[in-house]
Amino acid sequence: MRLTVLSFVSATALLAGFGTAQADIVIGLGTATTGPVAALGEQSVYGAKQAVADINAKGGVLGQKLVLKVGDDACDPRQAVAVANQFVRDQVTAVVGHLCSGASIPAADVYQEESVVMVSPTATNPLLTAKGYPTIFRVCGRDDQQGVVAGNYLAQNFKGKNIAVLDDKQAYGKGLADVVVETLEKAGGKVAYRGSVTAGEKDFSALITSLKDKNIDAVYYGGYHPELGLIVRQAQEQGLKPQFIAGDGLNNQEYWSITGPAGEGTLYTDSPSAASDPKAQELIASFKKAGLPEPGNFAFYSYAAVQVIAQGLQKSGGTDSGKLAKALHANSFDTVVGPIEFDKKGDIVKPNYVMYVWSNGQPKMIAQK
């Protein structure tokens, strides 16, 4: 399936770059179709592709068809800048992306300088919108909102216990972990161990020994699923079984593929599952009909980002970037993840995060009290 999807991405990029009619409206998608989080990137491609197909089936935008041009940034900052510059040269109307905060933040500088609207579906680091660029938006919440949920959970459920906070040194992971520490300490809790790992690392035996020496009861991890999956599995093999908690980077079936039964009970924060919304059922059915995996939030939020751009173009009456940005700031948008409205910085007005648990190989949303 991975090879099939990546072949599709390459074909889409080529078609968008060389076979696009002048009347088409080209939208860029900056995401990771290679690298350690390619599985999340595949979800974003599925979502954006389906949104474009559905919008075109209903007549397109302003009487024109949407065309999706995919750029692979591998969640790497320098590669993201290269993708952004390529999109500028290709004169895309707007960009969905980027997937990772570490890629989105430097790419945003390019888009702002060149007056290109970017709507990220999943980049959560607060720095993305901190500069107040008028052309930069996101349809998801922020780490300083998501991290508070996890920090408060730890403070309430592990009072007096030994808590470790880890991160992968990247913008997304470190940003989340720092907020968790701040929230936990404000609530009167203490961090018994604060450490970092390197993305792509495979052997965590030294880290696990340190956690065992500190008698750690709970571990918060800021980062993506590949590293935490290995940490969880190796920890169990070495007799360490704390409560593991992470952010929305764990919303990926590959996590369970890495951990196996060792991943049972792992918690993570994320936006409420769009799959449970009646509006999403048509999208789920279309994925199934196309033989695609069942969409997760990375797919749904990419779908929503395309919807926001399409509706913004319709409201602005044309493809001018300045008018599109003003339309996005001034209106509310009906999307598969619910109504979306932006504040002055380009953040959504009403973010929401809930807790999930991995159980029997599937993530399940925990009922809110």
**For the residues of 196-220, what is the DSSP string, one character each?**
E--TT----HHHHHHHHHTT-SEEE
**How far is Cα 230 from Cα 263, in angstroms, rounded to an integer?**
10
* 96 within a domain of the structure (yes/no): yes
pLDDT in tens, 162-215: 999 999 999 999 999 999 999 999 999 999 999 999 999 999 999 999 999 999
* 307 within a domain of the structure (yes/no): yes
Is residue 357 helix, strand or coil?
strand
Q: Is the pLDDT of residue 303 over 70?
A: yes
* 231 within a domain of the structure (yes/no): yes
**How far is Cα 53 from Cα 3, in angstroms, rounded to an integer?**
22
Q: Is 277 exposed, middle or buried (0-12, 13-18, 19+ CB in 10 A)?
A: middle
Q: What is the mean pLDDT of residues 98-116?
A: 97
Task: Work out the percent of the chain whose per-residue pLDDT is above 90.
Answer: 83
Answer yes or no: do 209 and 233 share one domain. Answer: yes
Q: How far apart are the first and last CA of the chain?
A: 39
**For the residues of 23-44, what is the DSSP string, one character each?**
TSEEEEEEE-SSSTTHHHHHHH
What proportions of the chain, in percent to the nearest 5, are helix, strand and coil? Answer: 50, 20, 35
Answer yes or no: do 299 and 158 share one domain. Answer: no
* 301 within a domain of the structure (yes/no): yes
Answer yes or no: do 136 and 147 share one domain. Answer: no
CA 108 to chain centre: 16
Q: Is the pLDDT of residue 276 over 90?
A: no
CA 153 to chain centre: 22
Domain region containing 251: 142-269
Q: What is the mean pLDDT of residues 287-315?
A: 91
Give the pLDDT confidence score for residue 278 in this predicted structure.
79
Answer yes or no: do 132 and 151 share one domain. Answer: no
Question: Total structural domains in the chain?
Answer: 2
Q: Is the pLDDT of residue 99 over 80?
A: yes
Give the residue carrying structure tokens 């913004």.
Answer: 312
Q: Please, what is the average pLDDT of the chain?
A: 91
Give 66's strand partners: 25
- Tell me how many helices (H) and strands (E) the chain has: 13, 14
Answer yes or no: do 152 and 263 share one domain. Answer: yes
Q: Which of 255, 162, 291, 135 is closest to 216 using CA atoms?
A: 162
What's the angle, vertex CA 166, arms to CA 163 and CA 168, rounded to 5? 170
* 71 within a domain of the structure (yes/no): yes
pLDDT in tens, 216-251: 999 999 999 999 999 999 999 999 999 999 999 998
Tokens matching residue 97? 């992306």
Answer yes or no: do 246 and 147 share one domain. Answer: yes
Answer yes or no: do 95 and 131 share one domain. Answer: yes
Give the pLDDT confidence score for residue 281 in this predicted structure.
85
Answer yes or no: do 210 and 295 share one domain. Answer: no
Query: Is 275 or 150 the better-scoring residue by pLDDT?
Result: 150
Q: What is the mean pLDDT of residues 274-284?
A: 82
Q: Which of 86, 139, 75, 130 is closest to 111 using CA atoms?
A: 86
Return the CATH number at 217.
3.40.50.2300
Task: Work out the percent of the chain whose per-residue pLDDT is above 70.
Answer: 93
Contact 185, 215 (CB under 8 A): no
Query: Is 277 or 51 the better-scoring residue by pLDDT?
Result: 51
pLDDT in tens, 47-86: 999 999 999 999 999 999 999 999 999 999 999 999 999 9
Sign of CA dihedral 257, 262, 268, 274: positive
Q: Please, which pLDDT band fits residue 299 given cuts at 50, 70 and 90?
A: very high
**How far is Cα 323 from Cα 280, in angstroms, rounded to an integer?**
30
Domain termination residue (choose one: 269, 294, 313): 269
Q: Cα-flanking dihedrals φ and ψ of residue 117, to 5°?
A: -75, 130
Q: Please, which pLDDT band fits residue 350 given cuts at 50, 70 and 90?
A: confident
Give the pLDDT confidence score for residue 11 in this predicted structure.
35
Query: Is 152 or 281 the better-scoring residue by pLDDT?
Result: 152
Give the pLDDT confidence score for residue 228 in this predicted structure.
98
Answer yes or no: do 176 and 318 share one domain. Answer: no
Give the pLDDT confidence score for residue 369 in this predicted structure.
52
Answer yes or no: do 175 and 118 share one domain. Answer: no
